[in-house]
Amino acid sequence: MALTLLAYGWIAYDADVRRADLGIGRYAWSELRCGCGRQASHLEGGFARLAGADAEFDAGALEGHVFSETVLYEPAPVVISACLDALADDLAVTARLHLLALLAQLSSAQDQPPGVTNAGSNLWSECRAALRKGIPLLYAEVFRAYPKQAGRENAMVAASYAFDVLMMIDNDAQRVERCRSAAAEFLAWDLRSKASFGGSASS
**Mean pLDDT for the stretch of residues 176-201:** 80
**Residue 41 · residue 78 · CB < 8 Å:** no
pLDDT at 47 over 80: no
The more confidently predicted of residues 21 and 87 is 87
pLDDT value, residue 203: 54
CA distance 41 to 175: 38
pLDDT value, residue 144: 86
Q: Any bridge partners for residue 4, and if so which?
A: 13
**Mean pLDDT for the stretch of residues 147-154:** 70
The more confidently predicted of residues 100 and 2 is 100
pLDDT at 55 over 80: no
**Residue 129 · residue 68 · CB < 8 Å:** no
Q: Give the whole-number percent of the chain exceeding pLDDT 70.
A: 75
**What are the start-end ranges of the E strands in 38-90?**
67-68, 71-72
| pTM beyond 0.85, yes or no | no
